[in-house]
Structure 1
Amino acid sequence: MSEIRAVVFDMDGTILNTEMLYPKVTAEMLQRRGLKLTQGLTDAMMGRPAPVAFQAMIDWHDLADTIDILTRESEEIFADILEASLGLMPGFTELFKLLRQTNYPLAVCTSASRSAALDLLGRFNITPDLQFVIGGDEVQHGKPHPEIYLTAANRLGLSPAEIAVFEDSETGCKAAIDAGTYAIAVPGDHSRKHSFDGAQLIADTLHDRRIYDILELPSLD
């Protein structure tokens, strides 16, 4: 039998396609200031709590704006983009269904605030099947620090090694690896060039047959 007894998902870019939407928000914010978004800044912001990400943006371009100003502006832009573009990542629906049927305890650990996560996940009726959601505003140290996954392990009453964690970014994967979990990296188009050294598996997508084998799930075929 598998030693994995619970599954924890990152949200942005792992469950939801939001990591592909955030750069659109950032690009719009910078365009308003006569600036352009680069891949370097995108990578520096990805997977981090909003205050840290916006501070990176301020430092990168020596902006006069405060974190609060950027947060409010981003929320307004993001709300418009969400209505047209929010969706689930390929393979999540099928995987999540089988995990529920197999009675794995399930949770989400995200750098987004807990309230934002509950809103986004609630749009797809995901939250009723979760043991809990931990937001980036509920831990002292955000990803890539392992605190959020160590907190999840404590809440689940399991050792980190008994928890499979799905992450799409280098920042998030490092948090999962350093916490001692079974880290499964699922890079998207936004993170294929990231380093996932230390991950037990680098999956192609959530459809990857190896994920099903590791979690001892029945075939979708």
Structure 2
Amino acid sequence: MAPLKAVVFDMDGTILNTEMLYPQVSSEILRRRGLTLSQDLTDAMMGRPAPVAFQAMIDWHDLADTIETLAKESEEIFSDILETSLGLMPGFTELFKSILAANYPVAVCTSASRSTAIDLLGRFNITPDLHFVIGGDEVEHGKPHPEIYLTAAKRLEVLPCEIAVFEDSQTGCTAAIEAGTYAIAVPASHSEKHSFDGAKMVANTLHDPRIYEVLNMPLHN
């Protein structure tokens, strides 16, 4: 195993609880059209750039809507939900503090647009401590393609195998694995049934002591 020199987090469902909120948005969009959201469609949309996710919804239910229409409607619904439901995933605050104390450079690679990521992360004052954020709208190929993590490695000036990547979904974890990073899956209730074959570790939560061990950090008490 190569020494780890940097840490990269996915955002939705890894730092923020947004992966639990997005199905509420999708469910409301479909409810307005007399339809219901299935778990299979939720899984097909999870971790993917918004245009790809909305196209999946359109194809799944043979909707007449455009991606742009669904995106605008989604933003309006999501804005209302955020005010009452946005939060951090369990263990993130403690882990983030420990990583910073250990002087690892930290970045975020997300399928969300960069502007959305900056907005959401900024609500918890996370962005000042990040080296950079790469949004799904800044790469040609979104997750599960490895481009976003290969781009991060270049910007961090380290090898992909020297980056610990935290991902909650099969889609994101595939991108991290294919890029050759040290992929750590952190499934939650929304992704506990996903396959994480190829991940270096499947953590219970971000509190998992094995994370601190692999990053050579004292366990936060």
Tell me, in whole angstroms, the C-alpha distance in 2 between the residues paired with 1:98 and 1:173.
Answer: 23
Tell me, in whole angstroms, the C-alpha distance in 1 between the residues paired with 2:17 and 2:28.
Answer: 18
Aligned to 1:48: 48
Amino acid at match of 1:32: R
Aligned to 2:20: 20
Q: Which runs of 4+ in 1 moved over 3 A?
A: none
Tell me, in whole angstroms, the C-alpha distance in 1 between the residues paired with 2:165 and 2:57.
Answer: 28
Q: How does 1:14-163 map to 2 (within 5 A)?
A: 14-163=14-163
Amino acid at match of 1:215: L
Tell me, in whole angstroms, the C-alpha distance in 1 between the residues paired with 2:2 and 2:179.
Answer: 19
Q: Does 1:181 align with 2:170?
A: no
SS state at 2:23 partner: helix
Tell me, in whole angstroms, the C-alpha distance in 1 between the residues paired with 2:23 and 2:118.
Answer: 21
SS state at 1:29 partner: helix
Amino acid at match of 2:201: L
Tell me, in whole angstroms, the C-alpha distance in 2 between the residues paired with 1:113 and 1:31.
Answer: 25
SS state at 1:166 partner: strand
Amino acid at match of 1:135: G
Tell me, in whole angstroms, the C-alpha distance in 1 between the residues paired with 2:58 and 2:210.
Answer: 41
Tell me, in whole angstroms, the C-alpha distance in 2 between the residues paired with 1:148 and 1:126.
Answer: 20
SS state at 1:107 partner: strand
Amino acid at match of 1:19: E
Tell me, in whole angstroms, the C-alpha distance in 2 between the residues paired with 1:34 and 1:69.
Answer: 17
Amino acid at match of 2:81: I
Which segments of 5 or more consecutive residues in structure 1 lack a partner in the other structure? none
SS state at 2:108 partner: strand
Q: How far did residue 70 of structure 1 move?
A: 0.1
Tell me, in whole angstroms, the C-alpha distance in 1 between the residues paired with 2:114 and 2:206.
Answer: 24
- Over the matched positions of the two proteins, sequence identity in percent amounts to 77
TM-score by length of structure 1 reads 0.99
SS state at 1:20 partner: helix
Tell me, in whole angstroms, the C-alpha distance in 2 between the residues paired with 1:110 and 1:178.
Answer: 16
Q: How far did residue 2 of structure 1 move?
A: 7.1
Which segments of 5 or more consecutive residues in structure 2 lack a partner in the other structure? none
Against the structure 1 CA distance between its residues 218 and 2, is the aligned structure 2 distance closer, same or farther, given a 3 Å change threshold?
Answer: farther
SS state at 2:176 partner: helix
